[in-house]
Amino acid sequence: MLNNKFSKGVIFSCIAAIFWGLPQPLFFNELNHVETIEVVAHRGFWSFIFLFLLLILISNISDFIEIFKSRKRIFILTITAFLIAGNWAGFIYSVGQERVQDASMGYFITPMISIVLGYFFLNEKITKPKFASVCFMLSGILFLFINLNQFPFLIIWIGTSWAIYGLLRKQVNVNPSIGLLYETFIISLISIPYLVYLFWQNENSIFSIDLKTSLFLILTGAVTIFPLFFFNLGLKFIQLGLAGVLFYLAPTFHFITSVFILNEEILQIKLISFIIIWIGIIIYIYDSYKKEIILNNTQ
């Protein structure tokens, strides 16, 4: 049986990935009539409010104050705050433009980048099977890029921003929920003046459209906190590369959701790329699982 920490890491990462993959695209599709920047602003503000209240009720937020005593934590978490806000913008834009498959491909790139980043910056080893899996993933992505008729800026931005976010969060020893609280705090410092400006100009959506829009904008906080918390928690127990591979569940469900629920046209190019990448994923997960079994038996 796998050790407890490894099992927790896998479970937490899977919970986050599945939630990102299915409910979130459907949720933000209900806000496609609101400007992307405004949705991101609300998402950052309400995420901070929800998480702050939650931590007051179930935990101690004194660790949040401790962040301000470390320049390294302030620096890294401020960067991750901007990275996650930019990643949100890319995803929300893709949903609003009926390009969820592009978001899916963007997140397909993320684990491949995470494996490479883990190797160079975290000294995470790449075995021969893992190297083979990366080659499959890279082949699938290259096949996609070569056959696209335009530069896939949205795909590259979504994938790269999320991979770097995961790497940087691995560099700071901060409770996942506290780190997320700081990130949403930083985003809120920008969001609040912007939302006040929209209100002053009578251009805000939360008060001027309908009750459904208002409720969904407020709930952007809840649907954000849940998966991010579990993703960061999972990183505490497993390697960045493995967390990245498990994250493939999210774009897989994005792809399925875009085709069968949101009725986006399925492209043969993306379907072929999808199959090639999954071959690599299976190889990588099998190698990681086999390694954990060996380590557990030697203890």
- Mean pLDDT rounded to a whole number for the chain: 86
pLDDT band at 273 (very low <50, low <70, confident <90, very high): confident
pLDDT in tens, 2-31: 567 788 888 888 898 889 888 899 999 999
Q: What is the mean pLDDT of residues 153-159?
A: 89
Which position has the higher pLDDT, 248 or 10? 10
What is the pLDDT, as a whole number, of residue 1?
44
CA separation for the pair 293, 121 (Å, rounded) = 26
CA separation for the pair 134, 147 (Å, rounded) = 20
DSSP character at residue 266? P
Q: Would you state the torsion angle of the CA atoms of residues 70, 71, 74, 76, taken in this order, to the nearest 10 degrees? A: -110
Check: CB of residue 80 under 8 Å from CB of residue 184.
no
Backbone phi, then psi, for 174, in 5-degree steps?
-130, 140
Of 80-84, 109-113, 116-120, which one has max mean pLDDT? 80-84
- Beta-carbon contacts of residue 196 (< 8 Å; ≥ 6 apart): none
What is the pLDDT, as a whole number, of residue 244?
66
Q: What is the mean pLDDT of residues 201-206?
A: 85
Check whether 234 has a pLDDT greater than 90.
no
pLDDT band at 202 (very low <50, low <70, confident <90, very high): confident
Backbone phi, then psi, for 124, in 5-degree steps?
-80, 125
Structure tokens at 253: 């469900």
What is the pLDDT, as a whole number, of residue 83?
96
Structure tokens at 193: 């003046």
The reported pTM is 0.84
